[in-house]
Amino acid sequence: PDYLFNLYKDLLLIDRGTAPSPRGIIVYDLKKRQIVFTDTYNSPINVENGFVTYWKEIAEKATKEVCVDTPEYFDYGMYVATLISLDLSTMKVVDTGKHQCKYHQ
């Protein structure tokens, strides 16, 4: 299922999924009548001042050294996520360099 979760100018921001993270994000341009961006994201997701920020799972291996802030969850399938910033005016994605460990449900 797809859910409208925000409207920014002529862009529909759509959440896709039926379960907890990871979920899909779709940006649909109403003027062009086409999808202009897709990705997967992990909560939370935020839309502010023309930017969408969200956590995205990356290939870095989750280790106890990397996941120092969440050691109690390490045995529950931890992964490393990076904070992404999507500029809605250009559809350019920037990795902010911030990382955190999250776990799959």
Alpha-helical runs (H) found in 30-105:
none
Query: What's the order of all strands across the beta sheet hosting 23-29?
Result: 2-8, 11-16, 23-29, 34-48, 51-57, 78-87, 92-103
Q: What is the pLDDT of residue 94?
A: 95
Nearest to 40 by CA among 90, 79, 89, 97: 79
Half-sphere exposure of 49 (CA within 13 A, CB side): 2
Q: What is the pLDDT of residue 19?
A: 83
- The pTM assigned to this predicted structure is 0.83
pLDDT in tens, the chain (105 residues): 899 999 999 999 999 998 877 899 999 999 999 999 999 998 889 999 999 999 998 887 777 777 766 666 666 677 888 999 999 999 999 999 888 887 766
Quick check: helix, strand or coil at residue 15? Answer: strand
